Structure 1
Amino acid sequence: MSLTSALSIARSGLTMSSRAADLISQNVANALTEGYGRRELELSASSTGGVSIAGVTRFAERAITADRRVAEAAQAGAGVTAAFHSTVEDAVGTPGSGTSLSDMVGELESALVTAASTPQSDAALQSVVDRAQDLASRVGQMGDTIYAARRQADASVGTSITSINEALRGVEALNAQIASLHGADASGLLDQRQSLIDGIAGLVPLREVEGQDGRVSLYTASGTALLDGRAGELARGTGGGLTLNGRDLPTSAIEGGALAAQISVRDDLGVAAQADIDAFAADLQSRLPGLFEGPPLKVQASVAASPQQVRDGAGGGGTSGDASRIVGMLNALTAGAGAGGAADALASSAASSRVVAEDRQAYATARYDTLHSAELEGGVDTDVEMQDLLLVQQIYSANAKVIQAIDGMLGQLMEL
């Protein structure tokens, strides 16, 4: 072997060591970076005896990543649903808290009991009106809360659609860049693409299919193509639905992620919650038609202006000691399960729905955490990277000494 050949071989070793150290530093620096895939040099022996860099391998646990994305969508969707049910429960209130719907029905009942025992008391009659107004106001606040939750869900739908479209266009652009490299190192671009796809995964559960040139196609869990060559375009459809590339897209096609859950809150869960509130208000009005009117539920203006109508009725003519009308109102309020029972049923239903939703969220979160941890285990291990760096340092030092020795030999030859 000539000195020139030996020098070339040693230089290839230095080049390899330098590139390996660069990759190791990238791995360590990005150990906690979401979407980062660990890199490793692909090496081969050259025909001249040195070492050649064949390329860079980016490691990714595709099967685990696919499962993690599905779990991420389930977690996000469950979180949206659980948050809504928690909002409904807070709006109805917990019986015994002093501010719940049930408590306010109880306060109206107590005011009627007091007024029935002292019908001549203007203060007792005013208290009935005040408690009735408090109850009607609380029912209205509940409706406002549900309406606000539905509006927020609708705004979130718009934000999600925008995010998905932007991410799909980004993936399409990265596909083109990766394909243009024709097999050269595209690790950085692959990291960017994975990050974009992960951003979509929480909104819509999807499957990733890789092509021969490094491009990927994206499909929903039901098989609807979101990106197949070109990025699809989601948009709002008529009646609050969705369209994909101008065609109606049923919500079932994207079921399982945050977007479908947001639509459900707006169109299904929110509507059902408002219907329950409206039914309670209608029941209350039917029990006490001389006190309430609506919708929306409110105390009759004439009663609010003249609390004596609680005792005397709209026509007046009653005596200050006659409590029969007040007793009739009290009996109507408590008949059957009573308005209090209806309020308790609302609170119980809200609490039960919240518990079920949070249980589902906890399960989805546990599954996501398990898969995410498994995915990270296949990522960067800084201890292993440090061991590899020490080996690279030794290889670099050895090759440097070879070059130093060859330089000395060449120097001796020049002195002859």
Structure 2
Amino acid sequence: MSDILQIGASGVLNYGKAIDVIGENVSNAQTAGYARRDVKLTEAPNGGSGILGLAQVTGNGVTTQSVTRAWDGFAATHVRNTASDAGEASAVSRWMSSTETALNSGDTGTDGQLTSFFTSLTALAANPTGVTQQTASISALNDAAKAISSSASGLKNVSDGIKDEADGGVSVINSDLTTLAKVNAAIIRTPSGTDSAAGLADQRDQLLDDLSSKIGINADIASNGTVKITLSGTANGQTLLSSTAAGQMAGSFTASMDSSGKLTIGVKDALDSNNNKNMNSSAGGSLSGLITVASTVADERSSLNTAASSFATQVNDWNSQGKTPAGAAGGSLLTITDNDATTLATTTSDGSQIASANSSSPNGNLQSVSSALRGSNGIEANYATLVSTNAQVTSSAATNATNTENLYTTATKTRDSLSGVDVSTEAAELLRYQQAYNASAKILQAAQTTMQSILELF
């Protein structure tokens, strides 16, 4: 009698557990990072004590061998690698698009204001003593200076935004590494093949996905489920998390930016807190993209500073070579501090200070504007080169971001097709286990009836 009770009880217990696992699968079908659970049931071993404690019971029913995750390590690694590439490309594309906005190119933008200034000087040359033309010219110069200053400020704001994003990324990375260290420790303490172990593995892999979008990593998962993480793309192979010493992690990631806008990400080795390196030679992840785009923006800011300083010098030199309508020597019309384009400004709002004349005619100096200010080294040409170069880089970055995002999406779909939950399949499995559960319950019912009938004989 005890063997039939054992069979029925084991069926109710273990098929019930299988039903619970399927319920968990269905309820987490849309949960990010969740890998489908599979229950492996096997025949209970013969021998030992049965449910009534009688010795040498045979036919012990069914037992749960393990709860496993539907997971493909190669597919998961491919997702992390493509996520790293997509994160890097996205960061570059987003911030290059912001630089395009900051440069404010077009008919009403900075280069348009520069053209308007030179157009106003042409009108002034036709009437060098006209107050209306003088006022229009000095106003156009002021607008051009403000436009350049605004573009320079916009580029600086882009640099500041990149730094803010880097600070946020560093904070998340440090938090993820701290959590992963705790997960490693929990995995060591948790029996393998259990639902708890599967949950910890889900958490581990989701954190790895999050990390890989921000930094390029190599993740080596040990047989016990713990993970060792090293920074990719560096010759020294810095360890960010050690699976053999659960709880050890990188001391910290730090972000710093110099006055020019160059970004540096500092990294400490998990196993040697004195091993301070930087990510500048690493590959992948949004932080790597931020390092790259910060350098590009810093170079553009430097180019604009140079162009603005040259413009101020050229305008002031040109004006100093002429005479105002009142006969005075032309003075400085523009000022700039420490070659910083954000400080570019006019020195006067009085259009009569424009030195339109030279020794030969009232508009002689104005006639030399093209050769003095509009050549290949003039502000228009310099700004056009800056805008054109930026447009090419921005376009290339957008294309790269689209391509890498598509690769990441494809890799994610492939992984999810292997580890994701298909509700139709789960429904079929649920029906199968419910039938087995009901059959086991009937076995218990039959055993109870039989036992009752036997007892009634006495």
TM-score by length of 2: 0.83
Whether 1:351 and 2:391 are equivalent positions in the alignment is yes
* DSSP 3-state at the match of 1:308: helix
Question: Deviation of residue 101 (structure 1)?
Answer: 2.0
Match of residue 251, structure 1, among 251, 266, 279: 279
Return the alpha-carbon distance in structure 1 between the equivalents of residues 367 and 281 of structure 2. 57
Which residue identity lines up with residue 395 of structure 1 in the other structure?
Answer: A
Partner of 1:227 in structure 2?
241
Return the alpha-carbon distance in structure 2 between the equivalents of residues 218 and 299 of structure 1. 52
Match of residue 372, structure 1, among 397, 408, 412: 412
Structure richer in helix, relative to its length: 1
Deviations 1:136-184 (A, max 9, x none): 1111111111111112222222222222122112111111111112425
Higher alpha-carbon deviation: 346-355 or 364-373: 346-355
Return the alpha-carbon distance in structure 1 between the equivalents of residues 163 and 379 of structure 2. 33
Q: 1:163 to 1:246 in 2, by over 3 A?
A: farther
Identity of aligned residues (%): 21
Match of residue 352, structure 2, among 299, 305, 308: 308
* DSSP 3-state at the match of 2:146: helix
Return the alpha-carbon distance in structure 2 between the equivalents of residues 237 and 38 of structure 1. 38
Deviations 1:295-336 (A, max 9, x none): 4453442xx2421111458xxx999x8222222234423234
* DSSP 3-state at the match of 1:370: helix
Which residue identity lines up with residue 66 of structure 2 in the other structure?
Answer: G
Which residue identity lines up with residue 24 of structure 2 in the other structure?
Answer: Q
Question: Deviation of residue 217 (structure 1)?
Answer: 0.7
Gaps of 5+ in 1: none
Return the alpha-carbon distance in structure 2 between the equivalents of residues 254 and 233 of structure 1. 18
Match of residue 301, structure 2, among 274, 287, 301: 274
Question: Deviation of residue 254 (structure 1)?
Answer: 3.1
Contact 1:172 1:231 in 2 (8 A): yes
Contact 2:375 2:381 in 1 (8 A): no
Partner of 1:236 in structure 2?
254
Question: Deviation of residue 253 (structure 1)?
Answer: 4.7
Return the alpha-carbon distance in structure 2 between the equivalents of residues 206 and 296 of structure 1. 39
Question: Deviation of residue 231 (structure 1)?
Answer: 0.9
Q: 1:126 to 1:221 in 2, by over 3 A?
A: same
Partner of 2:162 in structure 1?
153
Return the alpha-carbon distance in structure 2 between the equivalents of residues 234 and 80 of structure 1. 22
Partner of 2:80 in structure 1?
69
Match of residue 292, structure 1, among 334, 343, 346: 334
Return the alpha-carbon distance in structure 2 between the equivalents of residues 135 and 92 of structure 1. 13
Match of residue 80, structure 1, among 91, 115, 130: 91
Contact 1:210 1:216 in 2 (8 A): yes
Question: Deviation of residue 219 (structure 1)?
Answer: 1.3
* DSSP 3-state at the match of 1:183: coil
Return the alpha-carbon distance in structure 2 between the equivalents of residues 73 and 195 of structure 1. 14
Contact 1:288 1:329 in 2 (8 A): no
Whether 1:131 and 2:159 are equivalent positions in the alignment is no
* DSSP 3-state at the match of 1:231: coil
Match of residue 292, structure 2, among 261, 264, 269: 264
Deviations 1:215-255 (A, max 9, x none): 21111223321111211122438874513134232324532
Return the alpha-carbon distance in structure 1 between the equivalents of residues 162 and 298 of structure 2. 12
Higher alpha-carbon deviation: 400-409 or 4-13: 400-409
* DSSP 3-state at the match of 2:68: strand
Residues 90-169 of structure 1: pairs in structure 2 closer than 5 A = 90-95=101-106, 98-169=107-178
Whether 1:407 and 2:448 are equivalent positions in the alignment is yes
Which residue identity lines up with residue 364 of structure 1 in the other structure?
Answer: T
Return the alpha-carbon distance in structure 2 between the equivalents of residues 343 and 154 of structure 1. 25
* DSSP 3-state at the match of 1:217: strand
Return the alpha-carbon distance in structure 2 between the equivalents of residues 254 and 330 of structure 1. 48
Which residue identity lines up with residue 267 of structure 2 in the other structure?
Answer: T
Return the alpha-carbon distance in structure 2 between the equivalents of residues 259 and 241 of structure 1. 8
RMSD: 2.2
Return the alpha-carbon distance in structure 2 between the equivalents of residues 206 and 280 of structure 1. 41
Partner of 2:424 in structure 1?
383
* DSSP 3-state at the match of 2:354: helix
Question: Deviation of residue 212 (structure 1)?
Answer: 3.5
Return the alpha-carbon distance in structure 2 between the equivalents of residues 253 and 402 of structure 1. 67
* DSSP 3-state at the match of 2:351: coil
Higher alpha-carbon deviation: 185-194 or 247-256: 247-256
